Chains A and B, each alone.
Chain A
Amino acid sequence: MFVYSLAGLQVDGGQLPEIELPDNETTARTGVYQALARLLSVPDRDAYEAAAAGEWGARLAAAGKLLGFQHDFGNAAIDPGIAEEDFQAEFLRVFEIGSGNGPAAPLYGGLYSPDRMQRLEEVVRFYEYFGLTTSAEDPRPADHLATELEFMKYLTYKEAVSPSPRLQSSYRRAQHDFLDRQLVPWLPKLLEKTREAATWPYFEWVAGTAAAFVAADAEYAASAVAV
């Protein structure tokens, strides 16, 4: 069972109904993308506790139990002695704010392309074409990794709930296109910069997990489109 929610994005002109979804290959991807989006968001108490307890790997594996492809998420944990504030501060230093010259490994995809404005326009149009706008209440930039992962979550969710086979196929094709054009190209660079950021192994695992799953899912989506 999976009850839908959105973070960073909102449905253009309406609410999404909370629908109970069947567990299957598609909703497994929805679940993984939801977990990854949380993993790549500024951590709250729950995220901290899961990191301290080394639960994130299991959470991802549980969400992806029915994935249509084999994927090992691995696992990592932070030192249980690290305080929640310090954990959050390290996340912000590495991914969000940095010190002086910006974050060591920014989570904004546009910063990995030659023209961020163009990339922002492109992802916003992507969202809008599929019925979403960025959330007024949670105004993350449209090219934030968590937002893009939320969008993947949304596309897989829509594939799962759409009554029309044509719509399902549209959402599947959109997943392939979005992964191929927006996520796959820059996540390896994020991982590389995270490694250079002299941070904890946990955050290297976070970046690596996102990059590895997106790459594997992109292959899966490509084969699904080809079918």
Chain B
Amino acid sequence: MTPSAPSRYRERWTWEKTTFATHCLNCLATCPYRVYSRDGQVLFEEPAAIFEQVEEGVPDMNPMACQKGSAWSIQLDSPDRLLYPMRRKGERGAGEWERISWDEALTEVADALIEAIDLEGPESIVFEETVEGGLLTQAAYLRFAGLLGATTLDANGLINDFPAGHHITFGKFSCASSVDDTFHAELILIWHSNPSYTSIPYAHYITEARYHGSQVVCIAPDYSPSALMADTYISVRPATDAALALAMCRVIVDEGLFNRAFIQSQTDLPLLVHRESRRFLRGPEVTAGEREDQFYWWDGTGGAIADAPRGTLELDGADPALEGTYTVTGADGSAIEVTTVWELLREQLADYSPEAAGPICGVHPDAIRQLARDVASKRTKIIEGFNTPKYYHGDLMERAMCLLLALTGNWGRPGTGIQGLALAGLDGYMLFGMKQKRGVAETIRVMEGVEGAVEALRSQDPEASDEILGYELLQRGVAAGTASPPAFFHFYHCGYKETWNKKEWADDTTDRSFEDYLSDATRRGWWGGLVKPGPATDPQVLFIVATNPVRRQRGGSDTLLNHLWPKLEKVVVVENRMSATALQADILLPAAMQYERPNLQYAITHSFHVGFSEQARLPAGEARTEWQIFKALSAKVQERAPEMGVNTYLDGRRQQRRLDTLAGAFTANGAYDNEESVMDEWLRDSIEAGTLPESGSLGSLKERGTARFSGLGMFAPGLSLAANVEPDRTVTAFEWHVNDGVPFPTLTRRAQFLIDHPWFAEAKEDLPCHKENPFVGGHYPLLLTSGHSRWTIHAASMGNEVMAGTHRGEPLAILGTGEARSRGICDGDLVTVSNDRGSYQVRVRVSGRVRPGQLIVYNGWEPHMFPGWKGSNEVEPGMVKWLHLVSRYGHLRYLPFGWQPVPADRAVFVEVSKA
């Protein structure tokens, strides 16, 4: 008998079991979901809404979800799923494949790896790092790469979510409070971000804060979707945000609205500098034998030069002068003319009166003045996101924003600060790589070893904070690791030389080429040991796991496919769907998807909760998790090594590596046989380290779905939040600096606005300033901006048919009405977007919300969704700012996921014409 419609409907919503899951994607939102399944198949998911209210009076985070996550299960069996290992049959990218067994695939990959080691050394095996796929994905390939001594290209140098300006200012980029802290703000500046598209799970805090009385201002070139959430919309000319911020700073200084005590304690603005050279007055200049990193101020209380304390930001009765010029006696008896950074800043701000800056940034002087006064009088938080890092001079914008917050005392208190990204401390993950075997005794041994190393470092610098020493320790770890800032790889191996040397597309302050600076930096040894594989070593094998460089490579897919690919013996892609990169692989290894695997998401401060996933169903086809793939590959390499005559070898650091014990090394002799055993260890160790409560155990997570972090742990990425973690309060970044006087991890131990490095002086960027965006791409009338779309996290949901039904279902450029009319372009037309770098075709939406002179193309579209498979990165040269090649200057030195040269992909100049 045919079941009735009601019973079919009821059947649709009848399940056998529920499991918890989050989506381990690079939105990093850690939204907890419940997944409903029956007969081994996932039926649907819904937001679990399991977050408890943290602080009385502050709304909870529920439901913490978005439409992409709520429709994820549609993709599990979508037509683009990769189900079986496959080998390329025809030319690369021709789309001709043959299905092979796992054994065949692993044998072919293992042989290629062993040959590469034998021929060019293990550093010729290159992994593209990613933050997609969750920690179990990362751990698998990073462990494998680490055992081989391969090269792992730093993810932030690839995707560029690195706000260099934050790092320049604070010595770290991790400064985001938990998202519920937004509720405490009195003034919210949505600036260079579009949270109603990109932060759907927690954008509600902006609205709730507004209901609570907060003022919300949206600063953007276009009337962005997030402008709808604001009381005030300020239309800024693209890439001129530094001018706007500095003009506000000028108003605040001129009108005496600044917070003097905050500036004195938190920043380098009172520090003494040479009047002429603008270099800090350093210890040995004043006292023979004094530390190079001892700095000074003029103490108004004593009327004399005094050491600026290195161990605390507290003033302890001192009254460091902001204004004035002074003469101090040097160690050699000479008279040294000095002034303060504050005085230099005031001179700098002379160029940024609202009347002068207004025409630059396109904002009326009255609006600048009013907003400056509001910032000075209110607890202000900047919701910033990851847009600024993708501008050539994004660092200057960020430094200017930080200066605005510094002048007004706006960090370290609830409802203040700048909201980008911050990593929380899942210390078990950090400890994992250091443990030789499983178990608590080993954990304690490692933890005590780390503490011993920290104490040894402290003995060299007793005034250093735990955070500073944590960074020191991380720095030392880099030397033994596999990480490499990818700018060098791109320059030497991917055909960027000509592009990056184009002076007209770069900063025009100096005449030197990018290559000149790169050679200079390399010659000085600033990036010693990190340039891998070096210019003389051809990369042999490229591993791409859960990421999609052919789609998003700044500089266009040609850079990879025409320059890098021909050098490669083997391109191995581990993916769950046929992405643009998978299409270009030699060997495709099918990976399990969300809901098909246990996983933990990156620990970040947005929710400040663990993102946890269980397996709800078996992987589709023959797909495997990355842990299982790399475990099997380890065994296969070990099996093949004797036959190929490579059992041991020396890596690039002359350290002996072994292939004949690789399988046991990968699993720690069977201890980490599967994902759950790894997760269990991480979670238990995190509890040991104090970053998770007991309710963070694997068993408890299976019952509760999540747990809130209980501490920042013992490692630098977590400690950099510098916040007190309490069970009943939102997490506010930088509390330690403001409330406890804990110094910043910068050269001067203060939020640092003067960088007295000669290259910064050469670039005329020693202090925050505005520079016009270079004519990247050529002299064309439209400036192309971008951002994440509403419908997908990068390309992850691009093939989701439900999502596709919520928009036009194809790539889209948004052009202003006037610009469209003047070019004879109508809504829906196919246009060519072009500049001197390249071109592509795309449909146009004509909209009155886009600023004249602007073109918006949200990112995430796969190249094969465009005519001719040419995507939007074809017009992005991916310029790298040469100034970021500076290293070995205080806090400006390479840190994984941190300071390094990064490519800019936004604010390129283009023209559009009807195709």
Contacts and interface: CB of A to CB of B under 8 A. Distances in A.
Partners in one complex: yes
B763 interface: no
Interface in A159-201: 164, 166-167, 170-171, 173-174, 176-177, 180-181
A170 B438 contact: no
Contacts of A118: 702
Contacts of A170: 440, 443-444, 688
B671 A122 contact: no
B441 A131 contact: yes
Contacts of A131: 439-441
Q: Which of A125, A171, A173 has the most CB of B within 10 A?
A: A125
A133 B448 CA distance: 25
Interface stretch (B314-322, B385-393, B679-687, B832-840): B679-687
A131 B441 CA distance: 8
B698 interface: yes
Interface in A1-58: 12
A129 B440 contact: yes
Nearest to B444: A167
A130 interface: yes
A157 to B, nearest CB: 13
A125 B448 contact: no
B677 interface: yes
B302 interface: no
Interface string A105-140: 000000000000010011001001111000000000
A36 B464 CA distance: 52
B698 A167 contact: no
A171 B438 CA distance: 16
Contacts of B680: 125, 129
A129 B694 contact: no
B694 A167 contact: no
A88 to B, nearest CB: 34
Contact of A173 (B447, B681, B687, B700): B687
Contacts of A171: 440
A170 B441 CA distance: 9
Contact of A130 (B440, B671, B694): B440
B676 interface: yes
B353 interface: no
Interface in B645-693: 671, 676-677, 680-681, 684, 687-688
Contacts of B439: 12, 128-131
A128 B671 contact: yes
Contact of A129 (B438, B447, B448, B702): B438
B699 interface: yes
A18 to B, nearest CB: 19
B697 interface: yes
Interface in B412-461: 438-441, 443-444, 447-448
B698 A125 contact: yes
A122 B447 contact: no
Indicate the member of A118, A129, A171 with the most B CB atoms within 10 Å: A129
Task: Classify the secondary structure of A's interface with B.
Answer: helix
Contact of B441 (A167, A173, A177, A180): A167
A177 B694 contact: yes
Contacts of B676: 121, 125
Given A122-B699, A128-B438, A131-B439, A176 B694 contact: yes
A126 to B, nearest CB: 9
B58 to A, nearest CB: 27
Contacts of A177: 694, 697
Nearest to B443: A170
Q: Majority SS of interface residues in chain B?
A: helix
A176 B700 CA distance: 14
Given A167-B440, A167-B444, A129 B699 contact: no
A167 B439 CA distance: 12
B440 A181 contact: no
B444 A166 contact: yes
Interface residues of A, number: 20
Contacts of A174: 440
Contacts of B697: 177, 181
B429 to A, nearest CB: 16
Contacts of A130: 439-440
B530 to A, nearest CB: 35
Interface string B693-711: 0100111101000000000
A177 B447 CA distance: 21
A155 to B, nearest CB: 10
Contacts of A122: 698-699
Interface string B260-278: 0000000000000000000
A124 B203 CA distance: 42
A107 to B, nearest CB: 20
A87 B195 CA distance: 71
Contacts of B438: 128-129
A125 B702 contact: no
A215 B559 CA distance: 66
A167 B448 CA distance: 10
Contacts of A173: 687, 694
Given A129-B440, A170-B440, A170-B688, A164 B698 contact: no
A166 B442 CA distance: 12
Nearest to B671: A128
B360 to A, nearest CB: 57
Interface in B296-314: none
Q: Among B441, B448, B671, B700, which residue has the most Cβ atoms of chain A within 10 A?
A: B441
A11 to B, nearest CB: 11
B886 to A, nearest CB: 40
Contacts of A121: 676
Contact of B681 (A129, A167, A181): A129
Contacts of B687: 173
Contacts of A176: 694
Contacts of A12: 439
A121 B680 CA distance: 11
A171 B440 CA distance: 9
A12 B441 CA distance: 12
B377 to A, nearest CB: 44
Contact of B447 (A128, A166, A181): A166
A118 B676 CA distance: 11
Nearest to B437: A13
Nearest to A225: B694
A128 B678 CA distance: 12
Contact of B448 (A128, A164, A180, A181): A164
A125 B677 contact: yes
Nearest to A174: B440
A121 B679 CA distance: 13
Contacts of B677: 125
Given A12-B439, A131-B439, A166 B698 contact: no
Nearest to B700: A181
A167 B445 CA distance: 9
B257 to A, nearest CB: 48
28 contacts: A121-B676, A122-B699, A125-B677, A125-B680, A125-B698, A128-B439, A129-B439, A129-B440, A129-B681, A129-B684, A130-B439, A131-B439, A131-B440, A164-B448, A166-B444, A166-B448, A167-B440, A167-B441, A167-B444, A170-B440, A170-B443, A170-B688, A171-B440, A173-B687, A173-B694, A176-B694, A181-B697, A181-B700
Sorted from nearest, which 10 A-B pairs have the closest CB atoms?
Answer: A122-B699, A125-B680, A131-B439, A167-B444, A177-B694, A129-B684, A170-B440, A166-B444, A129-B439, A130-B440
Interface of B: 438-441, 443-444, 447-448, 671, 676-677, 680-681, 684, 687-688, 694, 697-700, 702
Interface of A: 12, 118, 121-122, 125, 128-131, 164, 166-167, 170-171, 173-174, 176-177, 180-181
Given A129-B440, A170-B440, 15 more contacts: A122-B698, A122-B699, A125-B676, A125-B677, A125-B680, A129-B438, A129-B680, A164-B444, A164-B448, A166-B447, A170-B444, A174-B440, A180-B694, A181-B697, A181-B700
